[in-house]
């Protein structure tokens, strides 16, 4: 019930208020503000952070972390740029429902759910594929605003660069907390509980978006 109550707030991280006013009032290239907005959107996006946490939860080698995060970044960069610059649109509720599913999927994988079912899905492919949906989620937030065509390409590229910087900042914090947490003898037990919570949050967010789609 607590997750259901929190769902509207957790999914309300779109571009709004003063940020929306700036975007709609800006004409021309504004690299630094757009990069800031991209970073802000990433570090306040509960969906992206939960998925990122699920991806790196049990990764300890820096090479593995870099590989998976790069795939995720490549995926969401492609669809963010294609969505805004190419005018490709998708229903934001359905896209966000898939993003919620991505959070639950990763937590289920961390809990050994696929192994228990005798399945072995390609983890790298899953991260890249869900990255595409996360990018469309980012694009849909920008598509809700009126962006001037002057400087559009440069501004969206700056926004995407900001998203990557925000992701790196969030990743650094996550890895630091996880490294500290792993020193605890109770980490295996607590890690399982944490992934159950992440999975429940993912399904909650997904159902919230599906309900919003059906009631829209």
* pLDDT tens digits, one per residue of 51-68: 999 999 999 999 999 999
Is pTM beyond 0.85? Reply is yes
- Summarised one tens digit per residue, pLDDT across range 145-203 is 888 899 999 999 999 999 999 999 999 999 999 999 999 999 999 999 999 999 999 99
Residue 136 near residue 6, CB atoms below 8 Å? no
State pLDDT tens for residues 112-157: 999 999 999 999 999 999 999 999 998 988 888 888 899 999 999 9
CB atoms within 10 A of CB 122: 9
Which residues, other chains included, contact 128 with Cβ-Cβ below 8 Å and sequence gap of 6+? 71, 72, 74, 75
Q: 125-144 burial by CB neighbour count: b if 16+ within 10 A, else e?
A: ebbbebbbbbbbbbbbbbbe
Tokens of 77: 């960069």
- Encode pLDDT of 80-97 as tens digits: 999 999 989 889 999 999
């Amino acid at each position: 019930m607590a997750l259901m109550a929190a769902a509207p707030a957790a999914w309300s991280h779109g571009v709004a208020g003063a940020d929306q006013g700036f975007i709609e009032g800006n004409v021309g290239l504004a690299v630094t503000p757009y990069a800031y907005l991209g970073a802000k959107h990433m570090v306040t996006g509960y969906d992206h952070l939960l998925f990122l946490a699920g991806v790196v939860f049990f990764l300890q080698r820096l090479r593995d972390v870099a590989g998976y995060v790069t795939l995720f970044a490549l995926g969401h960069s492609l669809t963010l740029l294609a969505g805004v610059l190419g005018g490709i649109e998708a229903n934001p509720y359905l896209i966000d429902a898939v993003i919620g599913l991505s959070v639950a999927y990763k937590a289920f994988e961390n809990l050994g759910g696929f192994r228990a079912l005798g399945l072995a899905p390609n983890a790298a492919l899953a991260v890249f594929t869900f990255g595409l949906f996360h990018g469309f989620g980012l694009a849909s937030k920008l598509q809700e605003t009126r962006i001037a065509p002057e400087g559009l390409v440069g501004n969206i590229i700056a926004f995407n660069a900001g998203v990557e910087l925000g992701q790196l900042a969030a990743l650094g914090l996550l890895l630091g907390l996880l490294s500290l947490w792993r020193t605890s003898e109770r980490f295996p037990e607590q890690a399982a509980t944490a992934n159950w919570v992440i999975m429940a949050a993912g399904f909650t967010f997904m159902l919230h978006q599906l309900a919003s789609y059906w009631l829209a």
